[in-house]
Chains A and B, each alone.
Chain A
Amino acid sequence: MRRSFSSFCYRHLLRLYPKTHRRRFEHGMLQCFEQLKHEPRYTGPLGRARLWLSALSDVLGNASLIRLSQKASPTVSLQRKSNVLDDLRREVVFAARKLVRRPGFTAVAVATIGIAIGANILVFTIVQATLVNPLPYPEPERVVSVWSDHWFTRAELAFFDERMETMQLAGALSDSVVYLGSETPLQLSGLHVSSHYFSALGVQPLIGRSFDADSADASTLVLSYALWQGLFGGDEAVLGKTMTLDDRPFRVIGVMPKGFASLPLEGELWVPMEMDPSSGNYEGTNEIRVIARLTKDSSDAQALDELRRTVQSRRQEFAHLAFEDYGDGATLTPLHSALTRDFRRPLLVLQVAVVFVLLMACVNVANIALAGASTRTGELSLRSALGASRGQIVRQLTMEGVLIAACGAGVGLITALVFLPMLVGALPFAKPDWLTIGVDRNVLLFAAALAFSSVLAFSVFPAMWSSRRTLNGSLKPSRHSTAAAARVRGVLVASEMALAMILVVAAGLMLKSFVSILDEDLGFTTDRIVTLRLHPSPAKYEEPDQSRVFYRQLLERVRGLPGVDDAGITRRLPLTGAWFTRLHLEGLPSDNDRGHPVQWTPADPGYFRTLKLRLEEGTGFDGTEQASSQPVALVNETFASKFWAEGSPVGRRIRFTGADDAWMTIVGVVTDVKQNGPDGFAFPMIYRPFEQSPVLGMRMVARTSSDPLAAVDSIREAVWDIDSRVPISEVATLRQVLSTSLAEPRLPLVGLAVFAAIALVLGAGGLYGVVSHVISQRTYDIGILFALGAQRREVLWKVVGQGMRPVFIGMSIGLFGSVASSRFLASLLHGVSPTDPVVLVSVCAVLTLTAVIACYIPARRASLIDPTVALRRE
């Protein structure tokens, strides 16, 4: 049977088992592994990572258990066992004593390895929780996200649900609801879900039941565990109680278990989705996210095939609906991949970067250990002369490494535990329910594996190298062995510099990219602006006029508050996206007659004044717009330049694609604002006067004369004076909104900056150590140089020059590595090329300067050597 490379590795991993067990079961285990490998959850790069993580922990754990149980069996000679243990104990004590006698070396080594392992554990914990751990559902690999050109409408969901046999479909639509049963009015995030929602995810309620598959009662609801605890104190009598949401009664029929992950959208409570197709339109309210569970006997390929066929028949079924835009594209993505798509790349870049840091730390410790070993040549040679075998000497040196690595892993673990909560708080996404970030068995195993491989890197190889030299050499270090050791250390310095170069270049690129995001004109002011979200109950404000009156009164009051300069309302704030819709433009038919895609939001004239949006052309909204007056709209610059590149759009007419929608006249062009995030795309956008497009849930913006948050209380009072049952949420300054939206590009920047700083310190420290050591070894040579008439300055630059040679070699290799790896960074960069010459040159300058300083300090010491003392030392 032909075996793949992974089976080859797995077979070698099985060597950890005792020979007898391996002989009996190796074949069976390999067969199992081969077949497991083809299971859906173990395919793809992340699946492979998951497979190997579980294989490693499985084999390590079970092999240790079997070995321990064999040790415990009386067949092994007790005498032999105790001898081995005694030897081991003696070696540990001996190595510990040696380390204690060199506290400086030990402290530096443990701290270096500890910080590097700690950083690795931190990043790995996040990577594992986010990208490797499966979603908390049974058979999570069968849960997929379904997408076909746009999110689904109710009619489409019903259409697909009826026809698809390879999967069970479930739709979810998010909706905010108002709950008045608590002290202050609460705005809760609810999900309308189709009847198969809970069964598709495979999770049953903790108490009560979920919706009946066939006849879901529209007035029932299921609570999340947190809401059940928060509102009802975890009382089981909640079942059957009535909860009034948006002034509509709902009967509680179930509570989901703790940790239930509400996906693909977050929700605190679930109500059945009304499947009446006529209750759908295309303007935002029908963005149903669809997930599905593949049935047991269907494969990904079969499911995708069926989906594509159904998309074809949908095209015929819905051809009469002008507003639907059907393409043929349809994709099935494992839900986990769909959720983690945006942060996979930054996290993997950080993981690679942090492994580089560990490599540098190992090289550094190896360097110090080598320097130490060369001064210990005498001691080691004496031990070998007294009969110690090479193996014993290697074991002694390695045991020191093992102790350093073990202490380092301990320091790293503690560091990671301390910093983990801070790091989780700084993640660019609010930690969703499905994500459990914590130190688990895999993380501990990872730490152990890191410690083990760092022992190999910084201890075993150097120990073997120096023991060979020791046995070949004499009791006194020879000039030849010193030169050979210097060469090895030169190679180590060069490799450190190469790694540092790659890391610092990456950090430099991220920094420049971040600065270029900050430099861009947002198009609005963030100075002293507070925003809050209002959610009047739809039951009370059923008529658009009621909503108009509410906001009219509110704005009047808020503008009159002391400390408030101006105020306005909008549906969507800048940086947070906006609704998509389609428009017909008078005299400018779209390609397929289905209208031009644009973004839009309702806003009142105060919104433009408060955020200081510049009017480029026309009159803007003047406050005279009424429901009964001529419909008008403002457009942004992108809109104007896209559709009327020559000439002005002012005075032209546009209308939404719905059959009944009236023509609106464009009355002005406002400057582009960053509507879709600080590094987001610019899209044609229109603003409608709130009076003509009233929406219930709006966001208020208020510009204040001093601290914006100080005005929140008086604004809240103003709202509740008009209607005490309106919930207020998402209170923040516009600066905070901006800061949150910058968190995503900030994560790789901050991570890489920290790692690059550590890399610089490690690189400089390593170089300093090597140059100092070389000088201490060559004091005699320097004395001769002086005796031959060399000037101090000449000696100084000679030493610096020698130290810089491996630095330049390393930097050249690093530069090449940076350019070669640039495509991995490209997708994270905004407005900067991955081979940006300014960044590359600056990084070379920074590294050179750091290296020169690291060489200069010991070199200056060398130049001050007294030649008579130096010559006497030999």
Chain B
Amino acid sequence: MTDTNPLLPLSSNAFEILLALAKEDLHGYAIIQHVSERTKGSLKLHPGTLYRVLARFLDQGLVDEIDESPVADTSDERRRTYRMTERGRIVAAAETRRLADQVRAAKKLKLGESSR
């Protein structure tokens, strides 16, 4: 069992990146697009933030880097794709539980039914 505690909580940027990678492997710009679409444009990742977080995830073993063979786009030298590792999935699941727990507590206090 991986100890995920030291890695939590994840920043909202970091969690969004894991969410984007949960379904499929993506390259950098595709991650930016996925996050923007999911949050209806309210969160716009920029390359600097994206790759800082990806660098950390790679070091922590939450994502892997795969070299995609440049068949479709021959003008491009190489395009790196990122894939969530098993450890990444465990951490994302742990973060989901943590957030769900907080939401449950907030609902119990009737927060969020309507807010000002």
Contact of B29 among A31, A61, A202, A258 (CB under 8 A): A31
Q: Which residues of A sit under 8 angstroms from B78, Cβ to Cβ?
A: 27
With A31-B29, A202-B40 already in contact, the answer to whether A59 and B48 are too (CB < 8 A) is yes
Q: Which residues of A sit under 8 angstroms from B40, Cβ to Cβ?
A: 138-139, 202
Q: Which residues of B sit under 8 angstroms from A626, Cβ to Cβ?
A: none
Tell me whether B115 and A31 are in contact (CB under 8 A). Answer: no
A457 within 8 A of partner (CB): no
User: Chain A residue with minimal CB distance to B33?
Assistant: A35
Tell me whether A35 and B29 are in contact (CB under 8 A). Answer: yes
Q: Which residues of B sit under 8 angstroms from A61, Cβ to Cβ?
A: 48
With A138-B40, A138-B41 already in contact, the answer to whether A29 and B77 are too (CB < 8 A) is no
With A28-B28, A29-B28 already in contact, the answer to whether A206 and B116 are too (CB < 8 A) is yes
**B92-116 interface mask toward A, CB cutoff 8 Å, 1 = contact, 0 = none?**
0000000000000000000000111
B113–chain A nearest beta-carbon distance, Å:
10
**A10-30 interface mask toward B, CB cutoff 8 Å, 1 = contact, 0 = none?**
000000000001001101110
Tell me whether B77 and A27 are in contact (CB under 8 A). Answer: yes
A729–chain B nearest beta-carbon distance, Å:
29
Q: A28-B47, A32-B47, A138-B40 provided; 4 other pairs, C-beta below 8 A?
A: A31-B76, A36-B47, A55-B46, A58-B48
Tell me whether A25 and B55 are in contact (CB under 8 A). Answer: yes
CA–CA, A28 to B52, complex, Å?
12
User: Chain A residue with minimal CB distance to B65?
Assistant: A24
CA–CA, A258 to B115, complex, Å?
11
A335–chain B nearest beta-carbon distance, Å:
15
Tell me whether B116 and A28 are in contact (CB under 8 A). Answer: no
**B24-54 interface mask toward A, CB cutoff 8 Å, 1 = contact, 0 = none?**
0001110010000000111000111111101
A869 within 8 A of partner (CB): no
Q: Which of A62-70, A110-118, A374-382 is found at the contact surface with chain B?
A: A62-70
Tell me whether A31 and B28 are in contact (CB under 8 A). Answer: yes
18 contacts between A and B (CB under 8 A): A1-B76, A24-B55, A25-B51, A25-B54, A27-B78, A29-B47, A29-B48, A31-B27, A36-B46, A54-B46, A55-B47, A55-B48, A58-B49, A138-B40, A138-B42, A140-B41, A202-B40, A206-B115
Q: Max chain A CB contacts within 10 Å: which of B46, B77, B78?
A: B46
Q: Which of A89-116 contact B (CB under 8 A)?
A: none
Q: Which residues of A sit under 8 angstroms from B49, Cβ to Cβ?
A: 58, 62
Tell me whether A21 and B41 are in contact (CB under 8 A). Answer: no
Tell me whether A234 and B46 are in contact (CB under 8 A). Answer: no
With A1-B75, A65-B52, A207-B114 already in contact, the answer to whether A28 and B80 are too (CB < 8 A) is yes
A236 within 8 A of partner (CB): yes
Q: Which residues of B contact A (CB under 8 A)?
A: 27-29, 32, 40-42, 46-52, 54-55, 75-80, 114-116
A33 within 8 A of partner (CB): yes
User: Chain B residue with minimal CB distance to A22?
Assistant: B51
User: Chain A residue with minimal CB distance to B77?
Assistant: A1
Q: Which residues of B sit under 8 angstroms from A29, Cβ to Cβ?
A: 28, 47-48, 51
Q: Max chain A CB contacts within 10 Å: which of B28, B47, B75, B79?
A: B47
CA–CA, A65 to B52, complex, Å?
9
With A62-B49, A138-B42 already in contact, the answer to whether A32 and B29 are too (CB < 8 A) is yes
Q: Which residues of A contact B (CB under 8 A)?
A: 1, 21, 24-25, 27-29, 31-33, 35-36, 54-55, 58-59, 61-63, 65-66, 138-140, 202, 206-207, 234, 236, 258
With A36-B29, A236-B114 already in contact, the answer to whether A31 and B46 are too (CB < 8 A) is no
CA–CA, A1 to B50, complex, Å?
23
User: Chain A residue with minimal CB distance to B56?
Assistant: A69
CA–CA, A348 to B17, complex, Å?
38
B66–chain A nearest beta-carbon distance, Å:
13
Q: Which residues of B sit under 8 angstroms from A138, Cβ to Cβ?
A: 40-42
A20–chain B nearest beta-carbon distance, Å:
9
B7–chain A nearest beta-carbon distance, Å:
15
CA–CA, A54 to B28, complex, Å?
17
User: Chain A residue with minimal CB distance to B75?
Assistant: A1
Tell me whether B32 and A36 are in contact (CB under 8 A). Answer: yes
Q: Which residues of B sit under 8 angstroms from A36, Cβ to Cβ?
A: 29, 32, 46-47
CA–CA, A531 to B77, complex, Å?
71
CA–CA, A35 to B26, complex, Å?
15
CA–CA, A655 to B41, complex, Å?
53
Tell me whether B48 and A62 are in contact (CB under 8 A). Answer: yes
Tell me whether A58 and B47 are in contact (CB under 8 A). Answer: yes
CA–CA, A207 to B78, complex, Å?
50
Tell me whether A28 and B41 are in contact (CB under 8 A). Answer: no
CA–CA, A554 to B46, complex, Å?
63
A36–chain B nearest beta-carbon distance, Å:
7
Tell me whether B41 and A139 are in contact (CB under 8 A). Answer: yes
CA–CA, A31 to B80, complex, Å?
10
Tell me whether B55 and A28 are in contact (CB under 8 A). Answer: no
CA–CA, A1 to B51, complex, Å?
21
User: Chain A residue with minimal CB distance to B114?
Assistant: A207
CA–CA, A184 to B41, complex, Å?
43
Tell me whether B46 and A58 are in contact (CB under 8 A). Answer: yes
Q: Which residues of A sit under 8 angstroms from B55, Cβ to Cβ?
A: 21, 24-25, 66
CA–CA, A17 to B78, complex, Å?
21
Tell me whether A28 and B51 are in contact (CB under 8 A). Answer: yes
With A31-B29, A32-B28 already in contact, the answer to whether A63 and B114 are too (CB < 8 A) is no
User: Chain A residue with minimal CB distance to B53?
Assistant: A62
CA–CA, A665 to B112, complex, Å?
66
Contact of A234 among B32, B50, B51, B116 (CB under 8 A): B116
Contact of B52 among A54, A55, A66, A206 (CB under 8 A): A66
Q: Which residues of A sit under 8 angstroms from B52, Cβ to Cβ?
A: 62, 65-66
B82–chain A nearest beta-carbon distance, Å:
9
A72–chain B nearest beta-carbon distance, Å:
14
Contact of B50 among A32, A55, A63 (CB under 8 A): A32
CA–CA, A28 to B68, complex, Å?
12
User: Chain B residue with minimal CB distance to A66?
Assistant: B52
Q: Which residues of A sit under 8 angstroms from B48, Cβ to Cβ?
A: 29, 55, 58-59, 61-63
Q: Which residues of A sit under 8 angstroms from B50, Cβ to Cβ?
A: 32
B43–chain A nearest beta-carbon distance, Å:
10
B32–chain A nearest beta-carbon distance, Å:
6
7 interchain residue pairs of minimum CB distance: A62-B48, A58-B46, A58-B48, A139-B41, A32-B47, A25-B51, A29-B47
B6–chain A nearest beta-carbon distance, Å:
15
Q: Which residues of B sit under 8 angstroms from A31, Cβ to Cβ?
A: 27-29, 76, 79
B63–chain A nearest beta-carbon distance, Å:
13
CA–CA, A641 to B42, complex, Å?
57
Q: Max chain A CB contacts within 10 Å: which of B41, B51, B55, B114?
A: B51
A612–chain B nearest beta-carbon distance, Å:
53
CA–CA, A36 to B48, complex, Å?
13
User: Chain B residue with minimal CB distance to A54?
Assistant: B46
Q: Which residues of B sit under 8 angstroms from A139, Cβ to Cβ?
A: 40-41
B106–chain A nearest beta-carbon distance, Å:
17
CA–CA, A58 to B32, complex, Å?
14
Q: Which residues of A sit under 8 angstroms from B32, Cβ to Cβ?
A: 32, 36
Q: Which residues of A sit under 8 angstroms from B75, Cβ to Cβ?
A: 1
CA–CA, A230 to B115, complex, Å?
18
